[in-house]
Amino acid sequence: MNFDYDLFVIGGGSGGVRAARIAAAEGGAKVGLAEESRMGGTCVIRGCVPKKLMVFASEYPAEIEDARAYGWDVTSTGFDWPQFRTALEAELDRLENAYRTTLKNAGVTLHDARAELVDAHRVKLADGAVFTAKHILIATGGRPFVPDVPGADLAITSNEMFHLPALPKRALVVGGGYIASEFSCILNGLGVETSQYYRGAQILRGFDDEARGHVANAMQAAGIAIHCGTDVLRLEKTSAGIRAHATDGSEREFDLVLYATGRKPNSAGLGLEAAGVLLGRNGEVKVSEWSQTAVPSIYAVGDVTDRVNLTPVAIREGHAFADTVFRGVPTKFTHDTIASAVFTQPEMGTIGLTEEQAAALGPTEVYAAAFRPMKTLFAGRNDRVLMKLLVSVATRKVLGCHIVGPGAGEMIQLVAIAIGMGATKEDFDRTVAVHPTMAEELVTMRKPTRVV
């Protein structure tokens, strides 16, 4: 059978773009890609990139205060949100154009339209055009999930956060994951009176308990009102804003309510099940270790598979798919020992097992150091950094590392190399410290604080 394309990709996010580019430029495939929104997907357009730029913006008040402590005669007249938003949107336009140029240079044909499956080898665009493809890749990512509570339409999600006409004076962030916690810190840093409701006992569930407690304490010390064990019963519009009725019996008014209560695979309405693709209970596309669905010609990568929902993971999955199917290099991407960062204030970097997970596997030495970093100590701030290593008593391997403090994401990237190679505590100990740095604590902790 003659196909219109060797590969048709549905979704122009990080995973789909990488797969399309490698298949076309290095695999010699004829590739088509359809994206119904903006090229670049969640990460570039409404996720990692704009969020990190907002993190940078929100850190300047503390930096200005520190500058004064270091002898600089600096003043601030406040934050100009419209100016920042205009510059942010221009940067997103630039990145989207860069993605488009990269794909076109690789020989990928772009379709700015929604695409759905017809069957195992056919896709249909919103304008009615139908294309055949030998292989189809689903890379449609995820979407914000908002619980069905009365008045939920009064709230926004992370998708809208970057395009607000003005900053609110009072904001409520609902959720306790990394997205909710990051936006609480961003809003607080930009001068917004910020509250955060989370129904669980502590924010950042799934991360190391000691590390997430450290982050929560610092957030509260910075002025964020965190209410754990609290959820929204209903929202209602008032003359003064939005009134949130909470499960703790309180009623508070806000100018903005942001729901960051998780994300769901963006798999609805794509014709997947009718084509024979199996979905999980949350709508995730079920795939093999080769990212292949129940239909041999259809694959899926990224957040729509709900494996490890991180942009670099989607990229590696997309690359592995293209290597396997179009370059003749069978490649499985394993989802073990993946480093990640949470861009709260303070920042958290983590890799490997939490203390709780490590202890469940066997006796574990815990090395932990909490201290005031030199830079902000001099400036008179009470910031505290946490450095933590988890070491197997039996094998001496470092099973996990958790860092809370400035630059934690940068540090954990390098630690990930050592832990991925199976480094032992003695390998860390043999490493000469770089002084004076925060990271030197990782190689100077000699005695465990406890064994669990």
Whether 5-143+264-326 shares its CATH topology with 152-261 is answered: yes
In angstroms, the CA 205 to CA 45 distance is 26
Q: Can you name the CATH fold of 5-143+264-326?
A: FAD/NAD(P)-binding domain (3.50.50)
pLDDT of the residue at 21: 98
Q: What does the pLDDT look like over 367-392, one tens digit per residue?
A: 999 999 999 999 999 999 999 999 99
Of 261, 283, 262, 259, the closest CA to residue 272 belongs to 283
Residue 4 burial (C-beta neighbours within 10 Å; 0-12, 13-18, 19+): middle
At residue 8, the 3 state secondary structure works out as strand
CA angle 65, 68, 69 (to 5 degrees): 90
C-alpha 27/C-alpha 422 separation (Å) is: 33
Q: Which CATH class is domain 152-261?
A: alpha beta
CB atoms within 10 A of CB 362: 12
Tokens 């294309």 -> residue: 131
Query: Does the annotation mark 435 as catalytic?
Result: yes
- Given 121, 319, 402, 435, the catalytic residue: 435
Could you give the 3-state DSSP secondary structure of residue 448?
coil
DSSP, residue by residue, 141-169: -EEE-----TTGGG-B-HHHHTT-SS--S
* Amino acid identity for residue 312 in this structure: P
Q: What is residue 1's predicted lDDT score, i.e. its pLDDT?
A: 81
* Spans of the chain, pLDDT less than 70: none
Contacts of 149 (CB under 8 A, 6+ apart): 232, 233, 234, 235
Q: How many residues does the chain have?
A: 452
- Residue 24 near residue 107 (C-beta atoms within 8 A): yes
- What would the pLDDT profile of 27-68 be if each residue is shown by its tens digit? 999 999 999 999 999 999 999 999 999 999 999 999 999 999
Which runs of consecutive H residues, i.e. helices, occur in 282-373? 311-326, 355-361
Domain ranges (residues) in the chain: 5-143+264-326, 152-261, 340-451
CATH class of domain segment(s) 340-451? alpha beta
